[in-house]
Amino acid sequence: MTDNRVSPPPIGGLQEIDGRHVFVHRTGSGGPAVVFLPGASMVGLDYFLVQHQVSPFATAVVYDRGGTGYSDPLPLPRTAAAVADELHELLRAGNIAGPYVLVAHSLGGAYAHRFSQLYPQDVAGLVWVDAFHRDWDDFMPSEAGLAAGQQMAPDPAQLRQMRPALREMYAELLADYPEHLRRTLIDAHVREDWLLAGAAERGNLVELAAELRTGPDLPDVPLIALTVAGVDPAQRALTTARTRQGVSEQAIAEGKSKMVAALVSSVSDGELRVVADVGHSQLCFRRADVVAQAIRDVIDRA
């Protein structure tokens, strides 16, 4: 496996945490600081467009979890507590004062929830960007549960075969990025170590949900949940596999709708916003404006 530090990050830097290096890029000023928690197979700089729109009105922080992106390698998958503790130490080491607005995308929702359980006093608000929910299995058909999702994950050989399609997908997603960032991120996203890290992080979804159930619900802070109505290329293969197994996509959509409604109703100031024209992986790239507006609104309410 290629060492993650062969190619240095194009912007940002590395912060030492417990004897290893974690990538972080900070822009803007003012509080509460906004912290982005990436989805699996994604990295902090994938949220550059949203960060760029947030930095005029708040401190905006993107980073890579240990074992992913430009951060030092670590065995994966990790517990949600380990990831939450790492983020807490990173923010302290960077003198980025809390409380924070956590912006969680996809798998990042598991880590944002655990951070909120362990450090509730450090959470001012939440933006849930089509993010992981610990009660997924309570709302979904068993064939579409977390365990089934783990089993459908591609193996290393399949990932290598997918490289051309993934390169094309990231070239499209990153079309509006500055060219020096765009080329670097496209090349990095199809590296074997990045591909394997993304797959490995999805390897303990059932355990993550169980871990989150040992702790409390989300804190009662302003929360806006963004959910998508479209299906993007990264989801298409999974959708096809589920259809072949007789799983109704309508049942999944209905379950997801009920799940997110329960999420926003769990706090006194929760709101659901449906984004109709994009899919799960596309949201932060194609509708950075929608994500940035949700962040601004949560800050205003916080």
* 256, containing H or E segment: helix 249-265
8 occurs within a structural domain: no
pLDDT < 50 positions in the chain? 1-5, 238, 240-241, 244
1 occurs within a structural domain: no
- Kindly state the tokens that stand for 220: 């009662």
pLDDT at 7: 75
6 occurs within a structural domain: no
3-state SS, one letter per residue, for 69-121: CCCCCCCCCCCHHHHHHHHHHHHHHCCCCCCEEEEEECCHHHHHHHHHHHCHH
Domains identified in the chain, total number? 1
Tens digit of pLDDT for each residue in 94-149? 999 999 999 999 999 999 999 999 999 999 999 999 999 999 999 998 888 999 88
210 occurs within a structural domain: yes
pLDDT at 232: 67
2 occurs within a structural domain: no
CA-based angle 39:44:46, to the nearest 5? 80
- Kindly state the tokens that stand for 205: 């979804």
Residue 33's φ and ψ, nearest 5 degrees, are -65, 145
Q: What is the mean pLDDT of the chain?
A: 92
**CA 143 to centroid of chain Cα atoms:** 24
Range of the domain at 160: 13-301
The C-alpha atoms of residue 135 and residue 132 are separated, in whole angstroms, by 9
pLDDT at 218: 97
3 occurs within a structural domain: no
Query: The domain that contains 68 carries what CATH number?
Result: 3.40.50.1820
20 occurs within a structural domain: yes
The C-alpha atoms of residue 117 and residue 297 are separated, in whole angstroms, by 23
